[in-house]
Amino acid sequence: MTRFRPLHRTRLLPGTLICPFDSGLSARVEITDPALAVMTDLRRVPAVTIPADSAIDVAMQRMMHAGVRLLLVLGEYAAVVGLVTARDIMGEKPVRIAAANRIPRDAVKVGEIMVPEGQIEVLDLAEVGRSAVGDVVLTLREAGRQHALVMEAGDPPQIRGIFSISQIGRQLGVKIQSTAVVQSFAELEHLLVNSS
């Protein structure tokens, strides 16, 4: 039989703060550190999702509230049917769809502008586990993307993690503007070259 004991209690000290949320990620990394150190692990941090039939303004509000720039779009049975980024919502695609359908921009739905599942490239968790931060940076640069999803094999397969170039930049100590992908990669590439 297991024996339990009461824990020691003390008074709350004046000036006590709440521990800042760290996304479960290491505060500071080097370009040669394991790639998993910069992956948002969805087993530890809940995924930020939205139904495909939601209005794009609702999606943007959800991103702002959660402090993210990518939402996984869910269909029936919580299956991932696409993804939508802040860039998708703020770009010209919603304006084109609204004009073509003669509807107000705020009536455009996430499902109309999302990247559908068949066009989403994912990274394999097993390979990510054998990779370095620099490998992820080069992969994102080659793809010209700010984010990458990491899939864990299984039946059914699952999205296990997300890489974000801005998150990687923060962890490397490089300031990255979320709208300046080219500059972001140039700054990170400078780190890659200087660490070799």
Domain boundaries, the chain: 35-195
The arrangement of strands across the sheet holding 40-41 comes to: 40-41, 158-164, 147-152, 122-124
Mean pLDDT of the chain: 85
How many residues are given for the chain? 196
Give domain 35-195's CATH superfamily: CBS-domain (3.10.580.10)
- The answer, yes or no, to whether residue 119 has pLDDT greater than 70, is yes
Q: Check residues 191 and 5 and name the one with the higher pLDDT.
A: 5
- The answer, yes or no, to whether residue 6 has pLDDT greater than 80, is no
Going by pLDDT thresholds of 50, 70 and 90, the confidence category of residue 179 is: very low
Percent of residues, the chain, with pLDDT higher than 90: 55
Residue 77: CB atoms within 10 A of its CB come to 6
d(CA 35, CA 131): 5
- The answer, yes or no, to whether residue 182 has pLDDT greater than 70, is no
Average of per-residue pLDDT across 114-124: 93
- The answer, yes or no, to whether residue 188 has pLDDT greater than 90, is no
- The answer, yes or no, to whether residue 177 has pLDDT greater than 80, is no
Contact in structure between 37 and 171 (CB atoms under 8 Å): yes
Which of 13-27, 48-62, 149-163 is predicted least confidently? 13-27
Distances in Å between the alpha carbon of 22 and those of 48, 74, 80, 156, 167?
A: 16, 26, 26, 29, 11
Distances in Å between the alpha carbon of 81 and those of 69, 180, 194?
A: 17, 27, 40
Average of per-residue pLDDT across 127-139: 92
Tokens describing residue 110:
């996430």
CB environment 169-194: b (16+ within 10 A), e (fewer)? bbbbebebeeeebeebbebbeebbee
d(CA 178, CA 51): 24
d(CA 18, CA 170): 21
Rg of the chain's alpha carbons, rounded to an integer?
Answer: 20
For 125, residues 6+ apart whose C-beta sits below 8 A from its C-beta are 150, 151, 152, 153, 160, 161
The pLDDT assigned to 2 comes to 83
Sign of CA dihedral 143, 148, 150, 156: negative
Going by pLDDT thresholds of 50, 70 and 90, the confidence category of residue 148 is: very high
